[in-house]
Each structure stands twice: as C-alpha cells, then as structure tokens.
Amino acid sequence: MTSADWPAPAKLNLFLHVLGRREDGYHELQTAYQLIDLADSLSFGLREDGEIRRLEGPPSVPAETDLTVRAARQLQVAAGIRKGADIRLSKRIPIQGGLGGGSSDAATTLVALNEIWGLHMPVERLAGIGLPLGADLPFFIHGHSAWGEGIGERLTPMDLPPRHYAVVFPGIGVSTAEVFQASELTRNSPSLTIRGFLQAGGRNDCTPVATGRYPEVARALAWLARRGDARLTGTGSCVFAGFADRSQAEAALYGLPGGWSGFVALGLDRSPLQDRLAAERARQGQG
C-alpha cells in the first residue's frame, strides 16, 4: 500500500529577533512564521519488516542523514513498533534557503506515518518527537501560521493579512548552524509583542551575518530591495518581499540575474498538510 501526495509546505520568517543565548546553547527567539504555497511532496509505502528506506530524494542529501528518515526512525522508537516505510521525496523547496524545507519534510513524515502506522498520537506528542530534529518542526506539525517564541517552538496561531511574495533564491545555501554560532550575531534584541509586530514590523537579526559571510545573499537582498520591502527569511539564503497582488510580485522578479531562481508564493494561514490529513482520515473512515 502506498500513500501518496503528502505536501510539505515552505515558510517565511516575516521577522526574526534573537533575544539571547540560553544555557543549553540554543537561542531565545521571536518570529512570525508565514506558510506559503510552495511545497515538497512525499509518498510513503508501508513496510512490515521495520526498515525505513528513502527510495527517492535529493542527491545532495545522503539518505541516512535525511530528516525524513531520521523522523521516521524517531517515531518508530517512540511508538515501540516494528512497522517501516519506503519514502519518496520530491523536492521543490531550495535546500538551505531559509524556507524550512527539511523540517517541513520531517514534519510531514511524522504526521503521515502517524496515520499510516495507525498510531493515533496527538499533535503535541508528534511535536515533541520532532523538536530535537529542528526548532520549527512543531510549527509545521501544527500547520498554521504562527507567532513563535522560545527556540521557535512555543506557538500562538496567527491569521496574517493576505499577501503574495516574490522570493529569490541566489543559487547558494546558508548553514543555519554557522549563522547562529557566528561571533558577530547580535543576541540582545528586546522582546516584541504580537500587537507591536503587526503595527510596526520587525527585522531579521541574522541578516548582517548572512550577507557579510555570503556576498551573493547580499547581492540578492540589494537587488530585491529596489523592487519592494526585501528581507531575509530564517538564516537565509532566500530573500523575499510582500505585495498586495500576484501581478506586483511577478513584476518584482522581472530581469532576475542569471544563476538565481525566483518564484511567486501565496501566503497561507492553514497548511495544505492539514487538508491532506483530513482526506486520509476520511478515506480510512475516521471522520
């Protein structure tokens, strides 16, 4: 049995403040997560022998280190079961682009296999299983645009104004670990409220590090800034600008330099993963 077409949507960080470094080495953050309609796609085949195999995926990511494989194995251990899965991953989200693709793939794996293996774990349990793999996994598992605090895992759902986003990927990846370990990263932003963000916005504290260490990211940000309110998402490398309608976002990408790629994305409040989950439960007669 194969269960196909499970979406793993991308996200934008509309702002990202680093409030300080915690004793455990992680950083205290504040951010606004915006889901967008760009998504990877995953399919899962049930195995009864306990093996977890990635049959398709990005060649640049070894199967054993792929977050989908690691997430499936952590779910196996947490549930204490011997069921396995064949995983096929079709990538559309740029790798190391700050769009959360790897975390979203892992979150979709947990949500899908929870259903396929008949585990019926509650969403908070799945979020706890996923958190060690990435601070934004709980966000993708809950599946709603949100205000994030802590290391990004404390979530308050948000309904954000409709926007179309012009997103530019400058053809390189940025290491999240490198940015957060950088000595030049400021770690003293004041705490912000949701009301304050909605009224005045915020910045991305990782921007000076990413642009200082990766000149192509700096070029992309400067290029898009001539067309809109451009900013970095996550730790980079993608940059984005929001617009009131699709035609404006498309116009902002006109004349994109060679070696870069760009796309227009619609902001979403609800993840398409939630709709796919509802369809799976309806198919299994769970209502």
Q: Please list the active-site residues.
A: 11, 136
Length of the chain: 287
Burial class from Cβ neighbours inside 10 Å (0-12, 13-18, 19+) for residue 153 reads buried
From the list 9, 217, 13, the residue with the least C-alpha distance to 98 is 13
Q: Where are the alpha helices (DSSP H) in 80-206?
A: 101-116, 123-130, 137-142, 176-181, 194-200
- Asked whether 157 and 140 are in contact (CB, 8 A), the reply is no
From the list 120, 121, 112, the residue with the least C-alpha distance to 274 is 112
From the list 9, 38, 18, 11, the residue with the least C-alpha distance to 160 is 11
Return the residue matching tokens 């490198």: 178
